[in-house]
Every structure is written in structure tokens, then in C-alpha cells.
């Protein structure tokens, strides 16, 4: 009886193996038929404005671009292009804590708030004072340094 049980199990495994092989072959043929019929991934084009479209672009609207006209990176500045930048800015002290030694200055030009530390002071300041200062990159952003009362 053990031999017939073993034979039955082998035949069942063989049937399952053949069935899997047939299913795999059918899937393969279905994919091939789908590929031949044009199904699958849709084709996309880029029109003259740079938008993705499903129709080919109009060749009459094609623009010829010379490769030498393309500038990579930052364009070089010429001598006359430079703006005179004044590093000294003006503002008003919005908050200052004497005990902790820090505060904030609001720039009068762009209303940005800048951190100021006691180590960046030239004159003593208090809340509401008009001051002149310079900016310097700090750990958390721009800091006001060389702060003087006006």
C-alpha cells in the first residue's frame, strides 16, 4: 500500500508541474500577443512648449537651437555689470536681553529679522534703538555684526 501511495503522489506532482508549465506558456503567449497588438505602455511625445502629449509634435513648430548659444552654469560678469553693494545696513532693535546677551534687529529695507549677539556689538543697544550693522553667515542663518547706534 505504501508503494501505491507513493506512485499516486508522484503522478499528482507531475500533473501539477505540467499544469504550471501550461499556464506559464499561456501567459507568455498572451504577453507576446499584447505586445504585437500595440498594447502596453502608452507612447508620449514632448511638444514645442515642453509639455507631454500623446500626439507627435508638429514639425512646422520645431525650433532650431544652436548648441553654442546654450550657457551652462552662471554667466560670467562683465566689468560694467557689477552693482555697488553697501555691506552696512540700517535697522531697528526689536528685542534685546541684557542678561542673556542676545537680541534681534529688523532690517529697515526688507523687514527681515536678524539675530545679534553681544559679541557683535560695538555700542550698547536697547530695544527701539536705530542701528547700523553688517551681516555675517552664522550657524543658523545670517547674524548682525559690528552693530552701532545711529
Residue extents of the structural domains in the chain: 1-58, 89-149
Q: What pLDDT does residue 119 have?
A: 94
Q: What's the mean pLDDT when you consider all of the chain?
A: 85
- Other CB atoms within 10 A of residue 148 CB: 14
> pTM for this structure?
0.45
Do residues 44 and 52 make contact, with C-beta atoms less than 8 angstroms apart? yes
Task: For residue range 104-150, list pLDDT tens digits in order.
Answer: 999 998 999 999 999 999 999 999 999 999 999 988 989 999 999 99
CA gap 112, 150 in Å, rounded: 19
89-149: CATH topology is: OB fold (Dihydrolipoamide Acetyltransferase, E2P) (2.40.50)
Segment (H or E) for 4: helix 2-36
pLDDT higher than threshold 60 for residue 39: no
97 band by pLDDT with thresholds 50, 70 and 90:
very high
Amino acid at each position: 500500500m505504501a508503494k501505491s501511495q507513493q506512485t499516486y503522489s508522484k503522478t499528482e506532482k507531475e500533473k501539477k508541474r505540467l499544469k504550471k508549465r501550461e499556464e506559464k506558456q499561456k501567459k507568455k503567449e498572451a504577453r507576446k500577443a499584447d505586445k504585437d497588438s500595440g498594447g502596453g505602455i502608452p507612447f508620449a511625445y514632448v511638444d514645442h512648449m515642453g509639455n507631454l502629449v500623446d500626439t507627435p509634435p508638429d514639425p512646422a513648430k520645431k525650433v532650431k537651437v544652436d548648441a553654442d548659444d546654450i550657457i551652462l552654469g552662471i554667466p560670467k560678469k562683465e566689468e560694467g555689470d557689477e552693482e555697488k553693494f553697501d555691506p552696512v545696513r540700517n535697522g531697528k532693535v526689536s528685542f534685546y536681553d541684557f542678561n542673556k546677551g542676545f537680541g534681534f534687529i529688523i532690517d529697515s529695507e526688507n523687514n527681515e529679522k536678524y539675530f545679534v549677539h553681544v559679541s557683535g556689538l560695538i555700542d550698547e543697544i536697547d530695544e527701539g534703538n536705530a542701528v547700523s550693522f553688517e551681516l555675517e553667515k552664522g550657524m543658523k542663518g545670517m547674524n548682525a555684526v559690528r552693530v552701532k547706534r545711529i
